[in-house]
A and B are shown apart, each in its own frame.
Chain A
Amino acid sequence: MKKLSTLVLLAAFAMPLAAAPAAGNRAAAVPSAQAPVPAGETDQTLHAMHDEMARARARLVLTGVGKPFYIEYRLLDLDVRNVTASFGALVSSSTSRIRQMSVDVRVGDYHLDSSNFISEDGFQGFLGSTGEVGIDRDYNSLRQDLWLATDQAYKAAVTQMALKQSFLRSLTKPPEIDDFSQAQPLVKIDPRVDPDWTSRNWEEEAREASAVLKNFPQLYGNRVNYYLVYATTYRMTSEGTLIRSTRHLAAVEAAVDTQAEDGMSLHNYYSVYAALPSGLPDAATVAKAIASASTDLMALRSSPLIPDYTGPVLFDAPAAASTLAQVLEPSLSGARPPLSMTRDFDAFLERFGGRSEWSGRVGTRVLPASVTLLDDPTLQELQGQPLLGSYDVDDEGVNSQKVSLVESGILKDLLMSRRPGPDFMYSNGHARSALLSDPLPLSSNLILQAADALKPDDMRKKFLDSCRSDGHEWCLEIKRMDNPALSAVRQEDFSEFIAELGGGISNGDRVPLLVYRVYVADGHEELARGGILEGLTLRSLRNILAIGDDPTVLTYMLNSQEGLGGTALGAFGSAQDGIPSTVVAPSLLLDDVEIRGFHGEPSRLPLDPAPPMK
C-alpha cells in the first residue's frame, strides 16, 4: 500500500455532517448489518472487502473507547489511457491501471460522530486510511491493505472525536443538526466492463487532430489531450450497502494560446466528452473544431479592446450555461458546512464564492417567477443529446433523484448528501465525488427553463430594443465564457488565473472569452477582447430581462479538487480530475451588467518571432 498525498482542504471539507430539523421523508430504522457477497460471486475484491469488514465490525476496538458505529470501504479500479500531442507531434502517451482505496471509520452515533470537524491537529498514523492497492484484484493483498487502513481510520476517528467533543464544550450552543443521516442500504452489483483500447489508434488521432494547428503560424503553444478512463467503483458499508458500479468517460480537451500585437495574453479551448471512447468524434472532426477555436483566437488577436461598459448583455446559451454553473453551484447545497476550529476554512469558502446564499431561504423567491430550476441525475438524454451528469446511485450509495430546486421562481429544495443541513435532513442522492475525494452535494444535470421563453429572433429584437432605449450605439453579446482549466496550455497558467481572480470570484467576477459588440443601427457584430464581467451574482439572476427557447447542453467537468467543489471555481475542471456534469440552459438577456475593460499592463512580445512551422 502506498500512501497517497492528501488534499488537505478536500479532506477538510470532508464527510457528512450534522443536522436535526427538517422534513423527514424516509427515516425508518436502518439495519446495521453487512450485506453478504452474493453466492457464486467470483470477484475477490468483494470477498476481501466483506471479510475484512466483518472482522473489523466484530473485533476492532481499543480498550476504553467505543467501537466504530460506521465503517465504509471505497475502492476505485481505473484503466486510463492518456495521450497528448502538440502541432502534430506526440508529447506523451500512457496506459495505466490504478486501484485506490479509501476507508472511513466513525465513532459516536448518527447524531454526533467523529466526522465533519476540522481541527488543527489530529492523528498521525504511519500509513493513511487511503492509498494505492494492488492491481491484481486478488484477495490476500487487499485484505492486508484494508486491515491497516481500517486500523488507521479507526484511530484517526477516535482522536478526532476527542478533539471535537472538547471543541463542542467550548461553544455556548453546540449545533443541533445531526452529523449523519440514515439512508436505506442498497445492494447493486453491476457487471464489470473490460476496457477496449484497440479499436482506435489514439496516438495517431491525437497527432492528426493537432497537426491542423501547424496552419496557424501566430499560435504560440497548444496541447491536445485525449483522456479515456474506465472506472469500477466498489462501495461497502457496515450498514449493509454493497455496490459495484462501472463508469466510463472519454474526453478530448485542447488548449491554444498566443499574444495580441499589444502583448495581451490570449487563449481558447475546445472540449468534447463521451461516455465511451467509441463515442468520441473522429480525428478529422476534432481537427476541424480545434481549427475553428484557433480561428476565433486569431480573430481575437486583431480585435479591439472592450471599453468599460454597463448595460444589457446577451448571453448565448453556451455562455449562459457556463455562467449559471459558476453563479448557482455555491448555493445549491443544503448541507451545513463542517465545524471548524480555525477561521481559515470559512475564509477559504468566502474567497471562492463557496457560501450558500440559498440556505435558510426555502419558500422565498430567488429567481424570476417564470423560471424553473431542477437537477436531474436520472435523465439520460435531452433532445437526443446524452447528459453525462446522469447516474443511478450517488457516491454515498443513495439512489439518484430528480430535485426540483426552484418552481415558478420560488426556492423549494436543495441538493442533499447524507450530511444534513438546516433546511433538510435526508439525502436526495446528490453526493458526488471525483476519484475518492469526499462526496459533496453537487449538481449533476442542472436544467433551467422558463415559461415565457422567447424565440431567437424575438430575443435579439428585445436585446437591441433595450440597447437602443438605454441610448447605446452598441451592446455586448457573449458567445462563450472562458474555462481556464481547459484553456491553460500549462498547469501553472491555471494556478495563476486562480491566484489573480480568486478574490474577485466571490464578488461575481466572471471571465468571458468571446465577446461581440452588436451595433444597434444594423445589427452587425464586432469581436472584442479583454473584459471581465463584474458583480455577476445570484442577485443578478433575480431579474432576467428575457429567456430564450433554445436550451443547449453544456457538458463540463465539475472540479472538486482542493476543496473547489461547491464553489464558483468548481465550474472549471478537466477530465482528469473533474466530475462529469451538464448545465442545460437557454440564452439569457441580462440588464445592467457591468464589464470592466482591460486596465493592466500587457506583457511584451517575444524578442524573436516564432520559428517557422513548415
Chain B
Amino acid sequence: MKLNLTHRAFLTGAALLAASWGCVAANRPATAQAPAPAVLVAMQDELGRSMEAMSAADPPAYFISYTVSDRQLAEVSGSNGALLSSSADRARWLEVQSRVGTYQLDDTHKLGDRPPSWTSPGTNVPIDDDIAVLRREIWRETDRQYRAAAQALIKVKTSQQVQVQTAEGGAPDFSHEPPHTSVGPRVEINVDRKPWEERVRRYTAEFSKSPSVLNSIATFTALATNQYQVNTEGTKLAFGQIHYRLELFVQSKAPDGMDIERYANFDWLDPKDTPDEKTVFDGIHQLVKETEALDKAPLANPYAGPALLTGRAAAVFFHEVFGHRAEGFRQKDISEGQTFTSKVGEKILPDFISIKDDPTEASLGGQMLLGSYPFDDEGVPSVNVPLVDHGVLKTFLMGRSPLVDVPHSNGHGRRQLGFTPVARQGNLIVSSSQTVPFSEMRQKLIALVKQQGTPYGLLIDDISGGFTFTGRGQPQAFQVTPLVVYRVFADGRPDQLVRGVDIVGTPLVSLTKIVAASDTQEIFNGYCGAESGSVPVSAVAPAILISEMEFAKKETSTDRPPVLPPPAHDPEAKVQQP
C-alpha cells in the first residue's frame, strides 16, 4: 500500500506536534527523561499474561489492546458577566478491546440491521503511577471485556447460519496492520485560570450590553491528552496532544419566537498563539451585530436557485454531504445508503475539485487544524488520504474494519472516550484547480440569478453545522443549518439578511452542481458527532458557487420572547445593585 507516503506524512505531523510540545515539556526535565511510563509498563505486564490465558480459552481471543487516555483539563466558563465555573481536573480512562474469533469473523461482526452488542466501554483508573494498582484495574477490565466478546461471538455465529451474506459483508471484521512503536514525551499544560476567569467575565459582560442578547456563554478550555496504547500485535505507543480553545456563544429570540444563536471559536496549540483582547472583542462585536440584525431580519421563503457558500460554509457542506459518505465502515453495512460504495474510479464531482483528508497536518496557513493526530485510536499512524482526485472518487476513509477492496486502515479509526472507534474524518481539505477571486464569484452568482430568472440568489456566510442521513431507513438527504444568509439581488440593491432556512438536498445531485470555486481556503474547526461519539475535526474549503440549491423553512420555536425586557435594559426596573 502507500507505505512510503504513510511514513513521510506521519513524520511531518509528528515533527509539528513535537515542536509545540517542546516548549511545554522543557520545563519538566524530570518527566521528559523518565524511563518507560508506568502506564505502559503496567499495560505491557498484563497484556502478555492476559493473551496467554485468553488465547487458550474457548473461544480464543486473537487480539487484545489496551488504551489509557490520561486527560488533564482546565476549563473556565462565564455567563452574562459572571463566572460560571472554573475547574482543573485530571483523569485516566482505560479501554480494553478483547477480540475473539478470527480477523475474518469476530465478535464485532455486525448482524443485519441490529446494533452490535454493547458493553460499557471502560473504567476510570488511578492517576497515581502505581503499577500494581493499574495492573489490577486492567486485569479486571480485560476479563469483563473478554466475557462480553465471547458472548457476542456466539450470537454472531448463530446469526451467520440463518442470514445471507452480502458481498460487502464478506470483508473481514478486522484488518492486519503492522505494529508501531513510538514513545514520545509526556505533555502537560500549566494554566493559570485566574486571568481567564477575568477574561470570560469581561467577554460575557460585553455581550450583555446588547438588549438582544438573552444569554451568553464564553468558555476557555485547555486540554492535554496523553494516550498510551499497547496491543498483542506489538504496537506500543505513548503520545500527547495539547489543545486550547475559546468558545463564544449567544442566544437571542426574534419577535416571532425563532431562536437565534451565534457562535464563534478560537483554537490554538501554543500559548503564544492565544487570541489577543482585540481579536476576541472584534469577534464579540461581530456576533452581537449579527444577532441584532438577525432579530430584525425578515423570514426567508423556501427557495431553489443559485447559492454562493463562503469558505467556512462550504467546508461544513463538504463535511456533511461528502465526508460522512466517504467513511469506510458505511460501505459494508447493509443498513447504510452506500451512496459512493460502487463509485470508486467514477466521477462524483466536477473536474476541478479534489478532496483529501489529512490528519498529519497540524496547521494550515498558520491556523490550527483541529482534526490532527499522530496515531488514530486504533494505534495506526495517521495518513493523508486523497479521496477525490479531479472529481474522481479514489478511496474511503478507513479504520481497521476493512472492505473487500480496501483491506487496510489508513489511520482514520477514531472515537470519543468510551466509544468503539470507526472510520471518521480528520482534516477534510477541499481544493480546486480552477479558482476565481471571491468578488468574481459574486458576479457569477448574479449572472446565474439573471440566467435562471430567480428573484435573487443566496449568499451563505456561516453554517452552524448540520446532519446527514446515511442509513437506508431514511431518504439519502442532508440538511445543513446556515446561520447567516443574505439575499443577493441582480438589480444592484444591497444584500438583505434573512433568517429561518435550512439547506436541504441529496448528495449525488448537489455535488455535481458546483460550478466555481474561489482562490482562498477557509477553515472550520469543530467537533463532529457520529457512531463513535464526538471527535475534533477540521473542514477546509474555498468558497463555492452552486447552480441550484434547495432551501426549506427551518423548524422553529413558537415560544414567545420573554414578556419583560432584560433587567439591565428595563427603564422601569431598579437595575443597579444596591
Contact of B81 among A140, A220, A492 (CB under 8 A): A140
Give, as a whole number of angstroms, the nearest-CB distance from A48 to chain B.
7
Could you tell me if B564 and A147 are in contact, using CB atoms closer than 8 angstroms? yes
B293 within 8 A of A: no
Q: Any chain A CB within 8 A of the CB of B83? A: yes
Within 8 Å by CB of B124, from A92, A214, A608, A610, lies A92
Q: How far does the Cβ of A210 sit from chain B's closest Cβ, in whole Å?
A: 9
Q: Which of A43-58 contact B (CB under 8 A)?
A: 44, 47-48, 51-52, 55-56
Complex CA distance for A369 and B131, rounded to whole angstroms: 60
Q: Contact check, B85 vs A88: say whether CB atoms are below 8 A apart.
A: no
B120 to chain A minimum Cβ distance, whole angstroms, is 6
Q: Is the CB of A47 within 8 A of B125?
A: no
Collect the chain A residues with CB atoms within 8 Å of residue B120's CB. 492
In the complex, identify which listed stretch (B133-141, B177-185, B356-364) lies at the interface while the others stay far away: B133-141
B38 to chain A, nearest CB (A): 10
Contacts of A123 in B (CB 8 A): 559
Contact A151 to B83, CB < 8 A, known contacts A87-B130, A91-B126, A607-B54: no
Chain B residues closer than 8 Å to A142, beta-carbon distance: 82
B154-185 Cβ-contact flags toward A at 8 Å (1 or 0): 00000000000000000000000000000000
Q: Mark A142-173, 1 if CB is under 8 A from B, else 0.
A: 11110110010011000000000000000000
Q: Is the CB of A141 within 8 A of B563?
A: no
Given the complex of chains A and B, what is the CA–CA distance between A87 and B42 in angstroms?
15
Chain A residue nearest to B560 (CB atoms) is A155
- Return the chain A residue nearest B146 by Cβ: A607
A48 touching B53 by the CB < 8 A rule? no
Residues of B within 8 A of A (CB): 45-46, 49-50, 53-54, 57, 78-87, 89-91, 120, 123-128, 130, 132-137, 139-140, 142-143, 146-147, 201, 208, 214-215, 217, 251, 253, 259, 557, 559-560, 562-564, 566-568, 570, 572-574, 576-578
Given A51-B573, A603-B147, A613 contacting B564 (CB threshold 8 A)? no
Decide if A606 touches B564 in the complex (CB within 8 Å).
Answer: no
Least CB distance, B114 to chain A, in whole angstroms:
21
B458 → A minimal CB distance (Å): 26
CB distance from B62 to the nearest CB of A (A): 15
Q: Give the nearest-CB partner of A491 in chain B.
A: B120
What B residues does A96 contact at CB under 8 A?
85, 87
Given A91-B124, A125-B559, A147-B567, A611 and B49 contact (CB-CB distance below 8 Å): yes
Residues of the A chain whose Cβ atoms lie less than 8 Å from the Cβ of B574: 51
Measured CA separation A145–B204 after assembly (Å) = 13
* CB atoms of B215 and A136 under 8 A apart: no
- In the complex, the chain A residue whose C-beta lies closest to that of B126 is A89
Q: 14 other contacts beyond A91-B126, A138-B577, A608-B139, with CB at 8 A cut-off?
A: A47-B577, A60-B563, A132-B84, A134-B78, A135-B85, A141-B208, A144-B208, A147-B564, A151-B562, A151-B563, A151-B564, A492-B120, A608-B50, A608-B142
Interfacial chain B residues near A193, Cβ < 8 Å: none
Contact A89–B130 (Cβ < 8 Å): yes
Q: Is the CB of B136 within 8 A of A145?
A: no
Known: A148-B214, A607-B54. A86 touches B143 (CB 8 A): no
Q: Whole-angstrom distance between the alpha carbons of A62 and B134 in the complex?
A: 60
Docked pose: A94 CA to B578 CA in angstroms: 35
23 example contacts (A-B, Cβ-Cβ < 8 A) are as follows: A1-B80, A1-B215, A51-B574, A55-B567, A87-B126, A87-B133, A88-B133, A90-B126, A90-B128, A91-B126, A91-B127, A132-B84, A144-B208, A144-B566, A148-B562, A151-B562, A221-B136, A221-B140, A490-B123, A606-B143, A608-B139, A611-B46, A613-B132
- For residue B296, give the distance in angstroms from its CB to the closest CB of chain A: 19
Q: Give bound CA distance, A608 to B45, whole Å.
A: 13
Complex Cα spacing A43 to B82, Å: 16
* Residue A545 is within 8 A (CB to CB) of chain B in the complex: no
Contacts of B82 in A (CB 8 A): 133-136, 138, 140-142
Chain B minimum-CB-distance residue to A124 = B559
Q: Could you tell me the distance in whole angstroms from the C-beta of A95 to the nearest C-beta in chain B?
A: 8
Instruction: Indicate whether A127 reaches chain B with its CB closer than 8 angstroms.
Output: yes
Q: Is the CB of B80 within 8 A of A141?
A: yes
Give the interface of A toward B (CB within 8 A). 1-2, 44, 47-48, 51-52, 55-56, 59-62, 85-98, 123-127, 132-136, 138-145, 147-148, 151, 154-155, 207, 214, 220-221, 490, 492, 603-604, 606-608, 610-614
B382 CB to nearest A CB, Å: 30
User: Contact: A155 with B136, CB < 8 Å?
Assistant: no
Q: How far is the CB of A75 from chain B (nearest CB, A)?
A: 13
Which residues of chain B are within 8 angstroms of A614 by Cβ–Cβ distance? 132
A47 to B80, CA, bound (A): 17
Question: Is the beta-carbon distance between B562 and A1 smaller than 8 angstroms?
Answer: no
Is the Cβ of A94 less than 8 Å from the Cβ of B89? yes
For A89, what are the chain B residues with a Cβ–Cβ distance below 8 Å?
126-128, 130, 133-134
Chain A residues with Cβ below 8 Å from B139 are 606, 608, 610-611
Nearest opposing residue in chain A for B141, CB measure: A221
- Report chain B residues within 8 Å CB of A2: 79, 84, 217
The verdict on A140 contacting B568 (CB below 8 Å), with A124-B557, A608-B53 known, is: yes
Are B83's CB and A613's CB within 8 A?
no
B463 CB to closest chain A CB (Å) equals 21
Q: A138 to B127: give the CA distance in the assembly, Å.
A: 36
By a CB distance below 8 angstroms, the chain A residues around B143 are: 606-608
Given the contacts A86-B126, A89-B130, A155 and B559 also touching, CB distance less than 8 Å:
yes
CA of A130 to CA of B208, assembled, Å: 20
CA distance A89 to B39 in the complex (A): 13
Give the top 5 A-B pairs by smallest Cβ distance, nearest first.
A134-B82, A139-B577, A141-B82, A89-B126, A89-B128
In the complex, which residue of chain B has the Cβ closest to the Cβ of A52? B567
Q: Is the CB of B45 within 8 A of A140?
A: no
Residues in chain B near residue A221, CB distance under 8 A: 136-137, 140
Question: Which residues of A are found within 8 Å of B54, using beta-carbon distances?
Answer: 607
* Distance, CA A51 to CA B251, complexed state (A): 24
Closest to A141 in B: B82
**Do residues B81 and A141 form an inter-chain contact, with CB atoms below 8 A?**
yes
Contacts of B86 in A (CB 8 A): 97, 135
Query: What CA separation (Å) do A251 and B139 show in the bound complex?
Result: 29
Contact of B578 among A47, A125, A151 (CB under 8 A): A47
Q: What separation, in Å, do the CA atoms of A55 and B201 have in the docked complex? A: 25
Determine if A607 and B253 form an interchain contact, defined as CB atoms under 8 angstroms apart.
no
Looking at the assembled complex, report how far the CB atom of A308 sits from the nearest CB atom of chain B, in whole angstroms. Answer: 29
Q: Are B140 and A140 in contact (CB under 8 A)?
A: no
- With contacts A48-B577, A143-B567 known, is A127 near B215, CB below 8 A? yes
Complexed CA–CA distance, A44 and B83 (Å):
15
A126 CA / B561 CA spacing, docked (Å) = 10
With the chains together, A147 CA to B87 CA distance in Å?
A: 27
Closest to B557 in A: A126
A126 adjacent to B253 (CB under 8 Å): yes
What's the nearest-Cβ distance from chain B to residue A65, in Å?
10
- A145→B253 CA distance, assembly (Å): 15
Are A607 and B130 in contact, CB atoms less than 8 angstroms apart?
A: no
A48: chain B residues within 8 A (beta carbon)? 577
Please, which residues of chain A bring their CB within 8 A of the CB of B147?
A: 603-604
Contacts of B45 in A (CB 8 A): 611
> Cα distance A225–B416 when bound, in Å?
27
Residue of A nearest to B89 (CB): A94
Rounded to whole Å, the gap between the CB of B39 and the closest CB of chain A is 12
B57, B557, B567, B568: which contacts A607 (Cβ < 8 A)?
A: B57
Contact in complex: A140, B208 (CB < 8 Å): yes
Complex CA gap A221/B54 in Å reads: 21
A242 smallest CB distance to B (angstroms): 15
Write out the residue numbers on chain B whose beta carbons fall within 8 Å of the beta carbon of A143: 567-568
Q: Which of A98, A133, A220 meets B140, CB within 8 Å? A: A220
Task: Determine the distance from Cα of A89 to Cα of B128 in the docked complex, in whole angstroms.
Answer: 5
B126 touches A132 (CB 8 A): no
Q: How far is the CA of A153 from the CA of B457 in the complex (A)?
A: 42
In Å, the complex CA distance between A141 and B573 comes to 15
Looking at the assembled complex, report how far the CB atom of B548 sits from the nearest CB atom of chain A, in whole angstroms: 34
Which chain A residues lie closer than 8 Å to B566 at the CB level? 144, 147
Contact status A92-B89, CB under 8 Å:
yes
Contact of B564 among A51, A59, A207 (CB under 8 A): A59
